[in-house]
Amino acid sequence: MYDELMRVFTLGNWPLLVVAAFTSLLGYLEYVYSFALMWREHRSPFPIWMHTFYFAHDGSWTIIMLIAAASRGWYWFFVAVAISLLSFSAFEAYNVYKAITVERKEIWGDYYQGEVTVKQAVINVGMQLAAFLCVVNILIGFMGPGSILQWFLFTNMLMAAAPGVLWTKRGARENTRIGTSMGLAIVVLVGTVNTFLPTSMWVLAMPHTFNAPWYYITGVVFIAIAGFNLYNLARLPRKPRISGHRGPIW
């Protein structure tokens, strides 16, 4: 699959490059919201297991892409993907750090009596990371080290569905949007639609793999889930103004 990726991801293939850049931008915007919400509201919009899974995924693929680049004359696509994934790994490491130092009571409070200690949080994070590193790498072994686009599709599907579970739980428990935002939910919905268009990065790069009924049927399901998460969030009360800030993150 590496040769196929080198064949389609060329500097002259502007339609694919533009769509790929837009797809990456949406991913970065999702983490910009995560940072902003953590700084201002001290809550991440994503569950801790998403951060540990993405860290295991992006860290593993950073190494794999660097190995692929080194064995193929440092082809620009593999280098660019490795650098991008390394930056995402840094984002996820920050979110994991904040989960341990700021959010640990909300995340693990139901599983421990009394205060959740940093040690307990670190142990839980360590077990998640170990498990996800094994899961990611054993599946990469089954699928092949060139299956990067297949994995990118899966991570986008996860982003479409998983955060809504946390948002619904917080809404039911506290009747609030604190810890997430309508803007983020809209970006996730746009990102999900962009993932499953006939002109998506996946279809343009590998039509023989992704231009298939199962791909579009999956898209309908996950677009509906992302839309439902946005609808549920919109039903919750607007955030109150936080003292010392211009206003809540919409």
Q: Structural domain boundaries of the chain?
A: 2-234
For 102-123, how does the pLDDT look when each residue is reduced to its tens digit (9 = 90+)?
Answer: 999 999 999 998 899 999 999 9
Secondary structure (3-state) at 117? coil
Phi/psi for 101 (5° steps) reads -90, -25
Does residue 44 have a pLDDT over 70? Answer: yes
| Interacting residues of 229 by C-beta distance below 8 A, sequence separation 6+ | 160, 161, 163, 164, 167, 168, 185, 188, 189
Q: How confident is the model at residue 220 (pLDDT cuts 50, 70, 90)?
A: very high
pLDDT at 240: 80
Q: What is the largest CA-CA distance in the chain?
A: 60
Does residue 241 have a pLDDT over 80? Answer: no
* Average pLDDT score over the chain: 95
Which residue's structure tokens are 């979110």? 95
For 157-169, how does the pLDDT look when each residue is reduced to its tens digit (9 = 90+)?
Answer: 999 999 999 999 9
Q: Answer yes or no: pTM beyond 0.85.
A: yes
Does residue 244 have a pLDDT over 70? Answer: no
Amino acid at 215: Y
pLDDT at 232: 96
For 124-150, how does the pLDDT look when each residue is reduced to its tens digit (9 = 90+)?
Answer: 999 999 999 999 999 999 999 899 999
Does residue 35 have a pLDDT over 70? Answer: yes
Mean pLDDT value of segment 230-244: 85
Helix spans in the chain (H): 2-8, 14-41, 48-71, 76-101, 104-108, 118-143, 148-174, 182-195, 201-205, 207-210, 213-234
